[in-house]
C-alpha cells in the first residue's frame, strides 16, 4: 500500500504545483519527522520559497490548500509543520494493508517484463568453497532474490573458469599422482575434498621438484592449455573430468546455504564457438591496442586506468579477461541486464572490463557490478592454495552445532515433555544456524569488511537472524493457539474467525506502527532491487521485529477480556505480520521456522 500511497502523494503534489504555476521537477518527498504521525513528507516548499517570494512555511500552506484529500484514497489529511507537508494515512490505507499483508506473495511486485542475469560465486573449481569467499554466494543469491521479488525475470549463473592455468595444473596433477602420493586423507567425504589434494600436491611439486622434472611438467601443462585454445576434443575431455567432479562437490556445499543456479556457463564455451577469436580480432583493431612485452594489450591510460589489459599472449593463447569479454557480450545479446557480484580484489578488472566493452561499442548501461569485501574469522585471513583456510562447510557445521546447543537450552522443557522430538530440534538448529550465517553476512553493506562473530550472529536477543526468526515463530504460535492455519490468507482468516479483521479497531500506536511497517515492505523490495542492496531488506526485518515485539507486549491477542472483534482484528494483524516477515526472510535466503 505504501507504493500506492506514494504514487497518490506524487500525483497530488504535481497537481498542486501545476495549479500554482510552480515547477514540479523535484517534489522533495522524504521520510517524515519521527514526531509526526504521517507516512510521507515533502520539503518542496524549501525549493520554491525563492521563486514564490515567500517563506517556506507560507509556501507549504499554499500547496496544502491546493490538495483535495477527498480525491485521494490513502491520504486522510495534509498537514503543515513549518516548511514541511505531512501526508497522514487514511483508514483505507490500513484496511488494505491488513488484507494485502496476508497474501502468500506479499511484497512481490508486478512483472516488469525485463530479464536479468545475475552471475555470482564463480569460484575457480580447484577445491572446497572457503569462508573468505562466502560473501559472494550469499550476497549474489540475495541480489537475485530481491530482483525476482521486484518483478524481474531472473536467471542465476555460475561462470566456470575451466580454461586457465589453474585447471591445467589440476588436470595434470590428477593424471600424474596416485592416492599413495598424497600426504593425508580427504578432510571430508565429498569429491572436491578428495580431488583438491591432487591440486595441492601438484603445486608443491612444481615448487620443490628438480628443475628437469618441473620443466617436463610445465610442458604438459602448457600442452593442455594450448589444446583447449585449439579446440582439441581430448584436452576438453581431460579438463572436464576434473572440473565437473569438483564443481559437483562445490555445488553440494553451496546448496546448504542454499545458493542454487539455473546454469553453469563454462568459459571454454566461448573458445569453442569462435567468440573469443572474433573478439581478439576486434580488440587488435582498436586504437588502444599495442603489442609489447610479448603480448597484445590495450592501453587504457586515456580512460583513467593505469594498467594495461592483456588480452593475447605471444603464443596466441587468450586470457581469462578475453574470454570474459566474450561472455559479457553473450549476456548482452540474451538478457536485458547483466549483474555481476565480484570481490573487491576484482575492482581493477571490473573497470577494465567495462571500459573495454565500451570501446567495443557495447551498451554498458546493461551491466551492473556489485563489489564486496571479504569475510574474515577472528583468526585472520584465509587461503585455499595450501589447504590452510577455513572451509564454508566447517563454518556451517559449527553454526548448526552452536545453534543446536542454544535451541536445546531454550527448549529444554518442551523436549522433556515430548512436545518436540529430536527431528524438530535438528530442523530448528539447521534453520537457525545457517540462517544466522546468511543473515549476518547479507545484513552488512557489501563494501564494508566484516569479521564473523558467533556471539553476535546467534544472539536471540540482539538484532540477528534468530531475533527475527523468533518473531515468525511467535506469529505461528499465536495463530495456532487460536486454531488458525498460519498460512491462511485473508479470506480464509475471515471465514475461520467469523469476522472481518477490521483494521479500524487497530487504534493503538503499537498497532498502527506495525501496520505502517507492513505497508512499507513492497517499497523496501523496490528500493533494494533498484540499488542492488539486499542489506536494506535485512535492516527492514530488524525494524519489523522491533515493531512486532512492541505490539506483542502492549496488545494482548488471545488474553481473557479482549473484545472479540478486536481479537479478530489483531489475529489478522498477526497473520499479516507472519506473511511479511516470512517473505522478507525468504528474500534474504533465511528460513522462517514455525517453532523455536
Query: What is the pLDDT averaged over residues 277-281?
Result: 96
Query: Tell me, which fold does domain 2-89 have in CATH?
Result: Gyrase A; domain 2 (3.30.1360)
Query: Cell numbers at residue 505, please?
Result: 479497531
Query: Tell me, which fold does domain 120-376 have in CATH?
Result: Rossmann fold (3.40.50)
Residue 542's pLDDT is what? Answer: 96
CA 133 – CA 382 distance, rounded (Å):
9
CB 479 within 8 A of CB 52: no
Per-residue pLDDT of 175-191, as tens digits, reads 999 999 998 899 999 99
- The DSSP annotation for 503-539 comes to GGG--SHHHHHHHHHHHHHHHHHHHHHHHT-THHHHH
- Dihedral Cα 402, 407, 412, 418, nearest 10 deg: -120
CB 436 within 8 A of CB 458: yes
Give the distance between the most distant pair of CA atoms in the chain: 90
| Nearest alpha-carbon partner for 338 in 367, 371, 363, 364 | 367
β partners of residue 375: 450
Residue 370, helix vs strand vs coil = strand
pLDDT grade for 423, boundaries at 50, 70 and 90? confident
- The DSSP annotation for 197-266 comes to HHHHHHHHHHHHS-HHHHHHHHHHHHHHHHHHHHT-HHHHHHHHHHHHHHHHHHHHHHHTTT---SEEEE
- The DSSP annotation for 10-38 comes to HHHHHHHHHHTT---S---EEPPPTTS--
Q: How far apart are the first and last CA of the chain?
A: 31
Residue 131's pLDDT is what? Answer: 83
CB 356 within 8 A of CB 301: no
CB 442 within 8 A of CB 539: no
Q: Would you report the helix, strand and coil content of the chain in percent, each value rounded to 5? A: 55, 10, 30
Residue 462's pLDDT is what? Answer: 77
Residue 50's pLDDT is what? Answer: 86
Q: Where are the beta strands (DSSP E) in 363-460?
A: 367-372, 375-376, 450-451
Residue 407's pLDDT is what? Answer: 83
CA 113 – CA 336 distance, rounded (Å):
10
CB 174 within 8 A of CB 224: no
CA 349 – CA 372 distance, rounded (Å):
14
Domain ranges (residues) in the chain:
2-89, 120-376, 392-588
Task: Classify domain 392-588 at the CATH superfamily level.
Answer: Isoleucyl-tRNA Synthetase; Domain 1 (1.10.730.10)
pLDDT surpassing 70 at residue 416: no
Q: Of the given ranges (129-133, 169-173, 266-270, 331-335), which has the lowest mean pLDDT? A: 129-133
pLDDT surpassing 70 at residue 417: no
pLDDT grade for 381, boundaries at 50, 70 and 90? very low
Long-range pairs for 24-30 at CB < 8 Å and ≥24 separation? Answer: none
Per-residue pLDDT of 245-258, as tens digits, reads 999 999 999 999 99
Amino acid at each position: 500500500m505504501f507504493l500506492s500511497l506514494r504514487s497518490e502523494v506524487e500525483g497530488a503534489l504535481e497537481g498542486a504545483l501545476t495549479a500554482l504555476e510552480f515547477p514540479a521537477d523535484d517534489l522533495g518527498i522524504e521520510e517524515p519527522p519521527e514526531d509526526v504521525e504521517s507516512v510521507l513528507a515533502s520539503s518542496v516548499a524549501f525549493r520554491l520559497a525563492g521563486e514564490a517570494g515567500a517563506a517556506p512555511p507560507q509556501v507549504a500552506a499554499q500547496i496544502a490548500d491546493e490538495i483535495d484529500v477527498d480525491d485521494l484514497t490513502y491520504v486522510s489529511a495534509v498537514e503543515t509543520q513549518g516548511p514541511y507537508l505531512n501526508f497522514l494515512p487514511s483508514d483505507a490505507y490500513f484496511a488494505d494493508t491488513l488484507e494485502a499483508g496476508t497474501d502468500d506473495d506479499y511484497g512481490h511486485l508486478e512483472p516488469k517484463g525485463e530479464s536479468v542475469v545475475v552471475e555470482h560465486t564463480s569460484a575457480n573449481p580447484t577445491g572446497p568453497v572457503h569462508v573468505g569467499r562466502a560473501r559472494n554466494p550469499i550476497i549474489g543469491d540475495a541480489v537475485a532474490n530481491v530482483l525476482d521479488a521486484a518483478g524481474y525475470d531472473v536467471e542465476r549463473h555460475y561462470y566456470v573458469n575451466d580454461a586457465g592455468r589453474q585447471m591445467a595444473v589440476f588436470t595434470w596433477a590428477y593424471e600424474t599422482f596416485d592416492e599413495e602420493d598424497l600426504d593425508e586423507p580427504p578432510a571430508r567425504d565429498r569429491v572436491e575434498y578428495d580431488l583438491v589434494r591432487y591440486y595441492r600436491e601438484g603445486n608443491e611439486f612444481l615448487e620443490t621438484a628438480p628443475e628437469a622434472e618441473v620443466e617436463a611438467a610445465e610442458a604438459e601443462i602448457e600442452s593442455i592449455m594450448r589444446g583447449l585454445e585449439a579446440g582439441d576434443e581430448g584436452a576438453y575431455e581431460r579438463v572436464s573430468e576434473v572440473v565437473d567432479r569438483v564443481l559437483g562437490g562445490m555445488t553440494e556445499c553451496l546448496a546448504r546455504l542454499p545458493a542454487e543456479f539455473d546454469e553453469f556457463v563454462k568459459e571454454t564455451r566461448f573458445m569453442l564457438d569462435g567468440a573469443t577469436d572474433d573478439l581478439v580480432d576486434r580488440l587488435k583493431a582498436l586504437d588502444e591496442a599495442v603489442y609489447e612485452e610479448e603480448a597484445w594489450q590495450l592501453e587504457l591510460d586515456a580512460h583513467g586506468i593505469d594498467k594495461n589489459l592483456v588480452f593475447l599472449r605471444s603464443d596466441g593463447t587468450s586470457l581469462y579477461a578475453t574470454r570474459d569479454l566474450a561472455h559479457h557480450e553473450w549476456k548482452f545479446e540474451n538478457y536485458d541486464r547483466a549483474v555481476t557480484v565480484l570481490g573487491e580484489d576484482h575492482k581493477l578488472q571490473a573497470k577494465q572490463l567495462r571500459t573495454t566493452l565500451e570501446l567495443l561499442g557495447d551498451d554498458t548501461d546493461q551491466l551492473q557490478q556489485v563489489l564486496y569485501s571479504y569475510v574474515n574469522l577472528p583468526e585472520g585471513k584465509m587461503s585455499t592454495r595450501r589447504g590452510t583456510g577455513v572451509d564454508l562447510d566447517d563454518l556451517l557445521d559449527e553454526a548448526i552445532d552452536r545453534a543446536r546447543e542454544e535451541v536445546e537450552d531454550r527448549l529444554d522443557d518442551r523436549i522433556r515433555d515430548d512436545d518436540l522430538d529430536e527431528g524438530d530440534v535438528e530442523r530448528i538448529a539447521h534453520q537457525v544456524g545457517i540462517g544466522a550465517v546468511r543473515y549476518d553476512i547479507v545484513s552488512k553493506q557489501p563494501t564494508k569488511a566484516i569479521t564473523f562473530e558467533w556471539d553476535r550472529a546467534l544472539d536471540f536477543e540482539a538484532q540477528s537472524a534468530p531475533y527475527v526468526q523468533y518473531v515468525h515463530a511467535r506469529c505461528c504460535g499465536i495463530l495456532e493457539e487460536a486454531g488458525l492455519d498460519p498460512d491462511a490468507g485473508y479470506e480464509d482468516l475471515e471465514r475461520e474467525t467469523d469476522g472481518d479483521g477490521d483494521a479500524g479497531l487497530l487504534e493503538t500506536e503499537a498497532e498502527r506502527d506495525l501496520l505502517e511497517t507492513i505497508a512499507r515492505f513492497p517499497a523496501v523490495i523496490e528500493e533494494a532491487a533498484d540499488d542492488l542492496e539486499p542489506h536494506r531488506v535485512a535492516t527492514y526485518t530488524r525494524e519489523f521485529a522491533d515493531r512486532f515485539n512492541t505490539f506483542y507486549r502492549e496488545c494482548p491477542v488471545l488474553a481473557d477480556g479482549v473484545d472479540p472483534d478486536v481479537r479478530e482484528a489483531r489475529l489478522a494483524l498477526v497473520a499479516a505480520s507472519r506473511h511479511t516477515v516470512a517473505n522478507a526472510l525468504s528474500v534474504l535466503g533465511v528460513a522462517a521456522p514455525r517453532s523455536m
